[in-house]
Amino acid sequence: MIGNGGRPRLSKNQVSWFIRTNRHSGQDDSGSKERPGRAWQRKHGRENDEASAGARAEKANEQPNGGAGPKTTNSERKYRFRLVAFQEMRPGLEPVYLVDELIPSAGLVLIWGKQKTYKSFWVLDLMLHVAMGWPYRDRAVRQGTVVYCAFEGAHGYKGRSEALRRHYLIPDETPVPLYIMPGQADLITDEKTLIADFREQLGETKPLIVVLDTLNRSLKGSESSDEDMTKYTRAAEAIRTAFGCVVIIVHHCGYDETHARGHTSLPAAVDAELSVTRAEGSPFFQASVKNMRDGPEGTFVRNRAHIVPLDPDQEGRPRSSVVVVPDDGPAIPGSQSGRPDSAYPTLLSALRLALSTHGIQFSPDNKMPVQAVDEAHVRPLFYRNYIDGEDDKKKSADAQRMAFRRALKKAIEAKIVCGQKDDRGNAMLWFASAEENYK
């Protein structure tokens, strides 16, 4: 007999029989009685429980360590805080460095130094090598697109780029994936706009490195504030995450030349830290690895600033810029302060050259003649080869004059060079050693 719900309906006789039967079969081993139908529930419920337990055991056996690990795979769900088993933590084959032992392949990099240490010239030269895929000082380089944010001194980067083109003989038609972004910004507030603008202009290309030069010109807050520096670091990290690139921050040092200027939260957040040092007035400088999170420290490269003449301006005034070349020569003799002094050797070289081209016989105090030269021929040679690091022309001229006087005084006091005016009032210079005058 079928009821309205589609299930069999029992007759009165069937119900009476069912009740009588379960009065005896529904007892457990202790003799206690159960309600009608409880035995059926016990029997079939146990089967369902056993089936469920078996399914759980089977599922657990499919997981590592008997179900002790995560219950779902990465393909099933993406976790923000993903757990990686120890046995899966193995290094890949990707390079550890973008520039071997100088620039790591990921993270933030801080490059700092005093003003006029050629740190921006050095970084630009290094980035050109990355963009072109050229080995750098016999170090392996991973090639890729570079974006250089020239927040400071942007007006000079056209001349620097032209000097690099001429120095490395790069044809005009050769594409160079190095992009200069001239202008200022507040990275904390402009970070999203900067990322969006770069993406739109680069298209599908992602930069391998983004340079922020300098921190001071891209921060409207305080370098000494932990809050502002934390926000700046987060903005730099956002750029790194957006492009999967390395972000290089160019910064200054303070009165203490042993570390970067500002709050300590910045060097604590970076993956590598390099310093650039240069003695005042010297064309020689050095870039050194101060800290490398997963690499050796103490690596350094020695450099020399080399002047490259450019085309004159529209008024015919000569122009020039600086490129960075390797310096593998011996150390420069130190001054009394212990720091390298390039003015002194530059003077001696200029004097030798002037003697070879304009030297004449001169008899000091009417005694034995020597090979001497007018100081007016030595000065231009000294100025041409001495690098002062000043962008302002007046400051540069003043610095060169002071360096010439300082070097000449030192050479005379050391009795390396002698000087005396001739009958016409011209200052004549010659080496104290006769052999030196004819070298």
Q: What per-residue confidence (pLDDT) applies to 367? A: 83
Query: 198 is written with which tokens?
Result: 């770069």
Indicate if the pLDDT at residue 214 is higher than 90. Answer: yes
Give the chain's mean pLDDT.
82
**Residue 162 and residue 323: Cα distance in Å, rounded?**
10
- Which pLDDT does position 27 carry in this prediction? 47
Give the 3-state secondary structure of residue 315. coil
* DSSP secondary structure string for all residues of 257-322: TTSBSS-THHHHH-SEEEEEEE-TT-SEEEEEEEEETTS-S--EEEEEEEEEEE---TT---EEEE
Beta bridge mates, 326: 303
Tell me which residue of 301, 418, 315 sits closest to 368, measured CA to CA: 418
Q: Which residue(s) pair with 274 in the sheet? A: 111, 289
The answer to whether 285 and 278 are in contact (CB under 8 A) is yes
CA distance 77 to 79: 6
Tokens standing for residue 202: 């680069």
Q: Which domains does the chain have, with CATH numbers?
A: 98-326 (3.40.50.300), 343-438 (1.10.10)
Residue 48: per-residue pLDDT: 53
Q: Is residue 72's pLDDT more than 80? A: no
Q: What is the DSSP string of 164-213?
A: HHHHTT--TTS---EEEEES---HHHHHHHHHHHHHHHHTT---SEEEEE
Position 347, amino acid: L
Per residue in 24-49, pLDDT (tens digit) is 544 444 444 445 455 545 555 555 55
Question: Among 421, 403, 366, 335, which Cα is nearest to 430's?
Answer: 421
pLDDT 10s digits, 148-192: 999 998 889 999 999 999 999 999 999 999 999 999 999 999 999
Least-confidence region, from 101-115, 136-150, 347-361: 347-361
Q: Sign of the C-alpha dihedral, residues 51, 52, 57, 58?
A: positive
Please list the helix, strand and coil fractions of the chain in percent, rounded to the nearest 5, in that order: 40, 20, 40
Query: Predicted confidence band at 71 (pLDDT cuts at 50, 70, 90)?
Result: low
The upper half-sphere exposure of residue 227, i.e. CA atoms within 13 Å in the direction of its Cβ, equals 2
DSSP character for 340? B
